[in-house]
Structure 1
Amino acid sequence: MAILPRSPYKLGLILLAFGVSLHTLLTITHSGYAASTHPKRLLGGGSSPSSYSGNGGSSQWTESDGPAFGGNGTRGGRGEKANAAFVLLARNSDLWELASSIKQMESTFNHWAGYPYVFLNDEPFSDEFKKYTQELTDAECFYGLIEPSHWNQPDWIDEEKATAARNDMIEKKVIYGHSVPYRNMCRFNSMFFYKHPLLANFDYYWRIEPSIKFYCDLDYDPFLVMKEKNAVYGFVLSLFEYIETIPTLWDATKEFVASRPDLKETMKGNALEFVSEDGGETYNRCHFWSNFEIGDLNFWRGDAYNSYVEFLDKKGGFYYERWGDAPVHSIGAALFAKKEQIIFFEDIGYTHNPFTHCPQGASHSAGKCSCDPKSNFDNEWYSCTKRFLAL
């Protein structure tokens, strides 16, 4: 049996030495302990150590691609945070599928980053929904109601024509071809979500949906990557759109571009080659899968994109066809942003059924990812990511 010193002073010194040694050992061997006990974290800055080495202005991002965000190699630098929020479009019935998504976001990133959540619904959120979603995070949660005119099918839509279009898609077995609520959602995400009052004071957003999966720990802040690189759009999955849903979308796009010769300068150095293989004559159907997107709200609010989507809306294609927000966002970003302003977040592991992006090699190891590297949609013929990386 050990015999403790009788002097309280000597005992205190021994306990202090033991505590310092234990702290040092845990800091070296356990990254989660290091993050949670870093001085900036304890002082409320939400920061912890992480090393980076820069590679310039690549449109692909991995954690090793820094420099970091405050110039001192820490998460968010000196406690820096972007003016950003998560955006979640959901119904009350989505509660538990959404809870799983939030839990994973908190576990992999937001437990140290502390960004707020903005929930949007075309109906009031229930007390149950608010209670259980707020309990999942220490961050602020905001709950907003969507203005009916921003959600419902406009009165000027020819319902007979729209019904005929839906019936035709039902016969062709086009996914969501029958659904008016799905079309409402696509129109809202294309041209109204960034105008919601709850987002008015934010600059960046990260979209989260029910029943998705995040696989990798993030030791850096993607929002600050966006800010530092002056990026407007970030993605992890890209693929071809169903042509049956957008037969006239590209014609409408070309018509808009022709009507706005003043945008010619804006479009210099863009990513047109991602969405067209013949200089803009036709659309190759490539788009970023927008159920995951990290974006600059001010880009959507800007004249080029906002005028474009308002032009599209007047064509009625959200209801006479089934234009999705994914191709609309993708075309808008490809045309009106510089190609280096679009970032592929290679090291963020993600699934939205049926597709998975799983980081490879060193990125998989660095993020302690739980996805199978072999299960990676980037390698499939239906993915457009290789085309993007070749720009």
Structure 2
Amino acid sequence: MFRFAVILGLLSTVGPLAIDMYLPALPLIEKGLDADVSSVQASLIIYFIAFGVAQLFFGPYSDQVGRKKPLFIGLIIFAIGSIACALAPTIGWLLAGRFVQGLGGAVVMVVPRAIIRDKYTGTQATRLMALIMMVISVSPMLAPLVGSAIMEVASWRGVFWALAILTVSSLSLTLFALPETLAEDNKVPVNVASLMRGCGILLRDKKFMGLTFIGGFGMASFFVFLANASFVYTAEFGLTPVQFSLAFAVNALGFFSSSQLAASLGEKFGMEKVVATATTGFLVFTVLLLGLILAGFGTLPVIIGVLFLANACLGLVVPSTMVMALDDHGDMAGLASSLGGTLQMVAGGLMVVIASPFFDNTALPMVAAIAFCAVLAFILTRLVLNKTDIAMTPAE
């Protein structure tokens, strides 16, 4: 399982790296392309939306032809988008390149999740998902530092050239190290009618939709952080790109370190109870941080420390809800994974759009938006999860 997790984890880092590596460059891109903050933030939003919508194609397509061919197609598209971003003469060109990147990067979100469902369910799947996140955790912790180092010698454009090179390595990994996991007997011909029928089943499934959006609002809070942290940390607290990268790594560490406990805690207490407890903790810490900032105690150490605790709770929610949402839909894992991913990414992008008019390069609007996401996730958890399941442990 560990070797399998490493392969899927390395493939899955391609999409997140397209976000994390260039976060320290956002203020430089603003100056270099003579753009405003909203336009630069749009380069994240448009990536999220394309990343989400394209999953609706790659998921069903992987159910029809297998898991490897879609990976090849998506990675090639991602490489083309990366080169376009590296050559961008204007912010409009950069936005177009980011859109293409998002279209291709979607494949490394939906297909690995479908591969996991091909081989495992329940806590085994959660454990594999957590192992993958452990591999992915290297990305948000080290990628901003790598991006800062690249910018020292090659400007912000070098970040996108590095992503193009990384994509070539991922193509090689897919070709030589990843087995096909979808058996011929399990391949499902896809047409518009079957796609609409499958989407209808999933959209009417209250548990699937609820779990998707519990994780989705958790991810949306992280998207808000991604879109604003570099501006807040550099403008309000005067951090350099390298210092920002270190601060960002601390917050990411909270998420990914706790994700490794999700499967073990799920086996001991039940996955529903873990999600319910973690969403409560996420709500408590984000509202606490909002109160501290309003009271005038929003120092940089306080913000980093409390966000670390909040993200630790979030690390238990996201992998668990991903697995739980797919458990009852093994016969259309690719479609379920893609629809769930699309809904989550679009929700995250829209949350950034809705909150962006309030952002002013200070911590207050950013933390308020994060706390709002926590409130929504908490409410959904109480509405969706069975109260009896939450109260019981597996032993009971």
TM bucket (normalised to shorter chain) is under 0.3
The structure with higher relative contact order (CA 8 Å, sep 6+) is 2
Greater C-alpha Rg: 1
Q: Choose between structure 1 and 2: higher strand proportion.
A: 1
Q: Choose between structure 1 and 2: higher helix proportion.
A: 2
Q: Give the TM-score taking structure 1 as reference length.
A: 0.26
